[in-house]
Amino acid sequence: MSQRTLVLLKPDTVRRGLVGEVLGRFEAKGLRIVAMDLRTIDGELADQHYAEHVDKAFYPPLREFVTSGPMVAMVLEGDEAVEVVRALNGATDGRKAAPGTIRGDLSLSNRENLVHGSDSEESAAREIKLWFPDLP
Ligand code: IDP
């Protein structure tokens, strides 16, 4: 079943010059880019994007991090894209993520873990509308 999902290459990916490496993995897997934008977000969009986390202890430094510089936001499309992107990303904590995954190969942090991928089809619909309201 073809799906769309929202992917963010977080500010650490851009700062570390890993956009090509990370994007290349999604492309090599066969996912199609249907929208893409380099964007520095404000705290308001961060709060909306991470609405389920705003009350958590880790949120203030996460908010600081995701507003700290440009991110590459994109919508990827393909068969079971939500689950496929989550599998390519790996576990949240880069220190524990499996080798072979983006986080497992390239991140040593629980916060600066390079990528975001929507966690369900419902989240994907909400996040795509939030980030790319004009995408047909
Ligand atoms: P996910 O990105 O793997 O779906 P979530 O639990 O939705 O993980 O958390 C959102 C983001 O918040 C993570 O990607 C990471 O950047 C940050 N985060 C999650 N848990 C922690 C934590 O315990 N400490 C610091 N940052 C965290």
Q: Where are the domains of the chain?
A: 3-131
Q: Is the CB of 86 under 6 A from ligand 1?
A: no
The dotted CATH code for 3-131 is 3.30.70.141
Cβ neighbors of 92 (< 8 A, separation 6 or more) are 103, 110, 113
Structure tokens at 9: 């290459």
Percent of the chain with pLDDT over 70: 100
Confidence (pTM): 0.98
Predicted interface score ipTM higher than 0.90: yes
Is 116 one of the annotated active-site residues of the chain? yes
Q: How remote is the CA of residue 11 from the centroid of ligand 1, in Å?
A: 14
Residue nearest to atom 2 of ligand 1 (CA): 116
Dihedral class, residue 90 (left if φ above 0, else alpha if ψ from -120 to 50, else beta): left
Q: Is the CB of 123 under 6 A from ligand 1?
A: no
Q: What is the pLDDT of residue 18?
A: 99
The pLDDT tens digits for 12-57 are 999 999 999 999 999 999 999 999 999 999 999 999 999 999 999 9
Catalytic residue among 4, 116, 124, 131: 116
Q: Is the CB of 116 under 6 A from ligand 1?
A: yes
The pLDDT tens digits for 64-80 are 999 999 999 999 999 99
Cα distance between residue 5 and residue 126, in whole Å: 10
pLDDT of 1 higher than 90: no
Average pLDDT rounded to a whole number, residues 100-107: 99
